[in-house]
Amino acid sequence: MTMEIFLQNMANGITLGSLYALLAIGYTMVYGILRLINFAHGEIFMISTYFAFYGTAIFALPWQISFLIAIVLTALLGVVIERAAYRPLRDAPRISALISAIGVSFLMANLGLVIFGGRPKTFYRPPIFQTPIELGGVRVVALFFVIPALTAILLVALNYIVYKTKTGLAMRAAQWDFDTARLMGVDVDRAISITFAIGSALAAVGGIMWGLRFAEINPNMGLFPGLKCFIAAVFGGIGNISGAVLGGFILGFGEIMLVAFLPGLAGYRDAFAFILLILILLVRPTGLLGDKQRVKI
Partner 1 sequence: MSDKGLPALVCENVTMRFGGLTAVSEFNLVVPEGALFGLIGPNGAGKTTVFNIVSGVLHPSAGSVKLFGDDISGFSPDRIAHRGIARTFQNIRLFRNLTVLDNVLVGLHVRREANLAEALLALPRHRAEEARMASTATQLLRDVGLEDFSSYRASALPYGQQRRLEIARALATGPRVLLLDEPAAGMNPAETEDLMRLITDIRERFDLTILLIEHEMKVVMGICERMTVLDHGETIAEGTPAEIQCNERVIKAYLGGGVVAEN
CB of 185 to partner 1, least distance (A): 3
Closest CA to 26 of 147, 207, 269: 207
260's enclosing H/E stretch is helix 241-261
**Which one of residues 185, 263, 264, 267 is an interface residue with partner 1 (CB under 8 A)?**
185
**Which one of residues 172, 227, 258, 288 is an interface residue with partner 1 (CB under 8 A)?**
172
Residue 194 binding partner 1, by CB under 8 A: yes
The span from the CA of 116 to the CA of 46, in Å, is 11
- Does residue 9 contact residue 257 with C-beta atoms inside 8 Å? yes
CB of 181 to partner 1, least distance (A): 7
The span from the CA of 84 to the CA of 87, in Å, is 7
The span from the CA of 40 to the CA of 99, in Å, is 11
Q: Considering beta carbons, is residue 10 or 69 the nearer one to partner 1?
A: 69
The span from the CA of 244 to the CA of 237, in Å, is 7
Q: Considering beta carbons, is residue 181 or 204 the nearer one to partner 1?
A: 181
**Which one of residues 106, 176, 261, 274 is an interface residue with partner 1 (CB under 8 A)?**
176
In the Cβ-directed half-sphere of 256, how many Cα atoms lie within 13 Å? 20
Residue 241 binding partner 1, by CB under 8 A: no
CB of 175 to partner 1, least distance (A): 7
CB of 83 to partner 1, least distance (A): 17
Q: Which of residues 201-230 bind partner 1 (CB under 8 A)?
A: none
Residue 187 binding partner 1, by CB under 8 A: yes
Q: Considering beta carbons, is residue 147 or 171 the nearer one to partner 1?
A: 171
Compute the C-alpha angle 192/164/34, nearest 5°.
20
Residue 153 binding partner 1, by CB under 8 A: no
Return the range that interacts with partner 1 (CB under 8 A); candidates 89-97, 125-133, 168-176, 256-264: 168-176
**Which one of residues 7, 98, 107, 161 is an interface residue with partner 1 (CB under 8 A)?**
161
Residue type at 235? F
Q: For residue 143, how far is the Cα from the chain centroid?
A: 18
**Which one of residues 173, 204, 234, 276 is an interface residue with partner 1 (CB under 8 A)?**
173
Residue 99 binding partner 1, by CB under 8 A: no
Q: Considering beta carbons, is residue 146 or 174 the nearer one to partner 1?
A: 174
The span from the CA of 29 to the CA of 26, in Å, is 5
CB of 179 to partner 1, least distance (A): 6
Residue 170 binding partner 1, by CB under 8 A: yes
Long-range contacts of 56-65 (CB under 8 A, 24+ apart): 56/124, 57/121, 57/124, 63/124, 63/126
Size of the site for partner 1 (CB under 8 A): 25
DSSP letters, 1-45, are --HHHHHHHHHHHHHHHHHHHHHHHHHHHHHHHH----TTHHHHH
**Which one of residues 64, 93, 114, 166 is an interface residue with partner 1 (CB under 8 A)?**
166
Q: For residue 85, how far is the Cα from the chain centroid?
A: 20
Residue 127 binding partner 1, by CB under 8 A: no
The span from the CA of 232 to the CA of 20, in Å, is 8
Q: Which residues bind partner 1 (CB under 8 A)?
A: 157, 160-161, 164-167, 169-170, 172-173, 175-177, 179-188, 194
